[in-house]
Amino acid sequence: MAATRDSALTRAFDNDWIGPGLVSLIAVVAISLAQPAFLSPFNIFVLMSAISVNMVIALGQLVIIGLGQMNLALGSIGGLVAISFVGVIERYGIPVPLALAFALGIGIAAGMSGGYIIARTMISAFIITLAGLQIFKGINLGITEAQPFYGVPEAVKAFGQASVIGPLPWLMVPMMICSVAMWYLFNRMRIGRHILAMGSNPHAAELSGIDANATIIWAHGISGLLAAIAGLMLVARLQIGQPTIGDDWLISSFAAPVIGGAVLTGGRVSVAGTFFGVVIIAIITQGLVMFNIDPFVVQIVLGALILWAVAVNRLREMRIARVQARGAGA
C-alpha cells in the first residue's frame, strides 16, 4: 500500500509540469474568486498576450539551459531584431514578408555567431553572451540613437491587437507553434536529444559520437531565432519599434524554465513546465496590478520565485534520488 502510494507520488513529483500546473490552477481560482474581473474577456486577452510573448522568450532560454549553458544576449538579440524589422520597413520601404525573413535571419545569425565562438574556443557561454549582449545592444542604440521607429505596418499592428476567437489573441498562434516545435525538437528530433545529452554529460556525449560543436552552434541558433520571434511579437503588441525591447527579459527568461523544473546544469527541460512557469509569473504580475499592489513588488516576487523554484527542484531531486536508492536496495 505504502509502496504504491509512494511510487504514484514519485511519478507525480517526477513529472516536471504537474507542480507548476497545479499552482497555476490554484492561483487562477483564488484570484478570480477574490476579484471576478480577473476572468473578464479583456483581462484574459491581456494576460494571454503577455503569456504568449513570455513563453517564446522562455523557450529561447530553455534551449540553452538544456545545453547546460546560459544566454545573456537573448534580450539584446530580440531588441536588435525588433528595431531592424521596423527600421528596414520605415527607412527602405521593404515589404513585410521580406523584412520578416531579414529580421529572423538576424536573430539566427546573432545566435549562431555566439554559439560558434563558444563551440570553437570553449570559453564560458556566460562571458561570450555577455559580450554579445553589449555588442547587440550597442548596435541597436547606435542605429536608433535610443529613439523608437514608428513605421510599423498596419497588418503587423492588427496582428498584435486582433483575437482569434473571443479573448484569445492571435499572438497565441506563434507561441503555440514554437511550443509544439520545441517539444517535438526535444522529444523526437536528433538535435534535441543531442542538446540534452551535451547538457547532462558533455564528455559522454562527445564519446558517443555527438558533434559537440554543431550541437552548440545549432542550439544557439535556435535560441536566437526564438529571441527574434519574441522581439517581432513585441513589435506587434507594442505597435512600435522600441529600442528598449529585450531589456527586461533576463530575469523572467530564467525564472519560467526554472519554475518549470529545468535543471540549470543542463540535460533536463520541460516545455509544458516552462509554459506553466510563464503562466504563474503572468498571473502573479497581473494579480499584483489587480489588487493595486505596488508594481515595483513584481521585481521582488520574481526573484523570490526563482529561489523558491530552485529550492523545490533541489528537494525533488533529493527525493527522487532517495526513492531510487530505496528501490535499488529492496
Partner 1 sequence: MAHAGADNPIPPGSAPRRMSSGMRLLLGNEFGLAVLILLTVAVFALTLDGFTSPFSIYTIGRQIGIDTMIGLAMMAVIVTGGLDLSVGAIGVCSAMLFGWLMQVMGVPVPVAVPVAVLFGASLGFVNGFTVVMSGVHSFIITLASMSIFFGVMIFLTRAAAFNGLPPQVQAFGKMRVLPGISPLLLIAVAVCAALVVFYRYSTLGRQMLAAGANARAAELSGIRTGRVIVACHMLTGLLAAIAGLMVTARTGAAVPSMAGQLGQDWLLPAFLAPVLGGTLLSGGRVSVIGTLLGATFINIMTSGLLLMRVGEFWILAFLGVMLLIAVLADRTRQVFLTSRGMI
Contacts to partner 1 by CB under 8 A: 70, 117, 121-124, 126-128, 130-139, 141-142, 145-146, 247-248, 250-251, 254, 258, 264-265, 294, 296-304, 306-307, 310-311, 314
Instruction: Tell me the closest approach of the beta carbon of residue 124 to partner 1, in angstroms.
Output: 6
Instruction: Tell me the closest approach of the beta carbon of residue 233 to partner 1, in angstroms.
Output: 21
For 121, 157, 244, 276, 302, the CA distances from 248, given in Å and listed in that order, are: 29, 22, 8, 20, 12
Cell of 203: 564528455
Q: Looking only at Cα atoms, what is the longest distance across the chain?
A: 71
For partner 1, the closer CB: 130 or 290? 130
> Residue-wise over 183-204: b if at least 16 C-beta within 10 A, else e?
bebbeeeebbbbbbbbbeebee
For partner 1, the closer CB: 13 or 249? 249
Instruction: Tell me the closest approach of the beta carbon of residue 285 to partner 1, in angstroms.
Output: 12
SS (H, E, C) the chain: CHHHHHHHHHHHHHCCCHHHHHHHHHHHHHHHHHCHHHHCHHHHHHHHHHHHHHHHHHHHHHHHHHCCCCCCCHHHHHHHHHHHHHHHHHHHCCCHHHHHHHHHHHHHHHHHHHHHHHHHHCCCHHHHHHHHHHHHHHHHHHHHCCCCECCCCHHHHHHHHCEEECCEECCHHHHHHHHHHHHHHHHHCHHHHHHHHHHHCHHHHHHCCCCHHHHHHHHHHHHHHHHHHHHHHHHHHHCCECCCCCCCHHHHHHHHHHHCCCCCCCCCCCHHHHHHHHHHHHHHHHHHHHCCCCCCHHHHHHHHHHHHHHHHHHHHHHHHHHHHHHHHHC
For partner 1, the closer CB: 3 or 297? 297
Instruction: Tell me the closest approach of the beta carbon of residue 147 to partner 1, in angstroms.
Output: 11
Instruction: Tell me the closest approach of the beta carbon of residue 139 to partner 1, in angstroms.
Output: 5
For partner 1, the closer CB: 149 or 254? 254
For partner 1, the closer CB: 185 or 259? 259
For partner 1, the closer CB: 11 or 322? 322
Instruction: Tell me the closest approach of the beta carbon of residue 93 to partner 1, in angstroms.
Output: 25
Instruction: Tell me the closest approach of the beta carbon of residue 128 to partner 1, in angstroms.
Output: 7
For partner 1, the closer CB: 226 or 305? 305
For partner 1, the closer CB: 49 or 253? 253
Instruction: Tell me the closest approach of the beta carbon of residue 129 to partner 1, in angstroms.
Output: 10
